[in-house]
Structure 1
């Protein structure tokens, strides 16, 4: 039996829900909508206290604060990680702008095997680097499982196990980045960046984003902010490179 599928969606997003319902019902796949946290309408949500804007400013500079919609998105995924741990079962998390590809059912049929091998499996293509090849690890069904050197922008769809959900919950005791960037920081929390070839879903860019919006009009980054941002990026790049090098060395020595 495949892991339970949860679709994160705002209660008011009727068009998106109809889009997801049509796709999943046509495949005869059971699923459940999970009410997303509307950050703008719930600015005092208890989970938002985890967000440290002061530290984010130190890392990313002024005017880089997370939007309430981004906090709401983070809270929605966070609550599903909690549910994954409480139920002690792997789950598939989809956002309501996911386009299910023909390979989706093949992934669902093999999801139990994926969950027994990996704590987090990205079901979407990598959007961090165009045509990022990835390092082949093994074959499961029709998929080549790959370790990626950079993460997956967006959190359109992924499989997660209770153990990994708890790791991400622990790592997210303090929020500094959007949820997808937090999940992408594999070189910090040590949840490897694992994806599929071919991917089994993609994001529908035709839907208007409830999360991202334009920067404040007329904002110009100061030299100090630029230095802060570049320094933080340099540290991350060095840690990422070190982690990826260590992975490749272990792989060559042990073959896994």
Structure 2
């Protein structure tokens, strides 16, 4: 059985109880991964963060919670590489459906080129969904032209984990956006429809994405727009290449 790793902060015992009961009911074993709490400690992995790049290209710094989230996922990628086996990574505010077990039971039907699959719906705007394959009754594998902007739950193989690690030697974006940059990290963006895992919106965030909006200088906004334009172009080129490689 593919290992299921649940990221959970030591202080979030209620979340662990909440999600562990779901998996117990689904008759699925899970491994608790102690999340990095960016608000409590300066983790060694934080040395990879480049605040200068974050401000230069996105106009803001990453919060302590975002750094902890990045470090937590980074550690699961290392676990995947070291185990030499695929794993499923899930954040502790997730809600799972009975189709998660169906997905796991049918992992052998995934095409060989599929290295990572998001198990939740796409939360971005203005994206397209291209069908790839039916992997089980009621579960479709799809390719997204734009990343889903979250890291709630995903299936990942050692090759994909290694690529994410190699692309994350300097942090300047949140971990979910870093994963979404398939044109940069080389990990194609696949998902499933319908979603089989989703966020429990009733739970308060332990990451801390929100920050007061402040007016930024024109030069900062101009650099951010330039970065976004470049990202759009590279994304478009990568999607065209994917279409050209698709079996006819």
How would you bin the TM-score normalised by the shorter chain? over 0.9
- Asked if residue 227 in structure 1 is aligned to residue 225 in structure 2, the reply is no
Contact 2:97 2:197 in 1 (8 A): yes
Mapping 1:1-256, distance limit 5 Å: 2-42=1-41, 44-61=42-59, 64-114=60-110, 116-129=112-125, 132-142=127-137, 143-216=139-212, 219-251=214-246, 254-255=247-248
What secondary structure, in the 3-state scheme, does the structure 1 residue paired with 2:106 have? Answer: helix
Unaligned runs of 5+ in 1: none
Distance change in 2, residues 1:179/1:213 (3 Å): closer
Tell me the alpha carbon deviations over residues 12-53 of structure 1, each in whole angstroms, 9 at most, x when there is no partner: 1111111101100001101111100001101x2110000011
Tell me the alpha carbon deviations over residues 140-186 of structure 1, each in whole angstroms, 9 at most, x when there is no partner: 11221111000011100000011111111111111111100000000
RMSD over aligned Cα, in angstroms? 1.5
CA distance in 2, matches of 1:101, 1:39: 30
Give the TM-score of the pair, scaled to structure 2. Answer: 0.95
Contact 2:65 2:209 in 1 (8 A): no
Distance change in 2, residues 1:177/1:79 (3 Å): same
Give the TM-score of the pair, scaled to structure 1. Answer: 0.92
Query: Per-residue deviation at 1:112?
Result: 3.9
CA distance in 1, matches of 2:153, 2:108: 16
CA distance in 1, matches of 2:83, 2:98: 29
CA distance in 2, matches of 1:75, 1:166: 15
Contact 1:90 1:115 in 2 (8 A): no
Query: Per-residue deviation at 1:133?
Result: 4.8
CA distance in 2, matches of 1:20, 1:115: 30
What secondary structure, in the 3-state scheme, does the structure 2 residue paired with 1:39 have? Answer: coil
Total equivalences in the alignment: 247
Contact 1:123 1:157 in 2 (8 A): yes
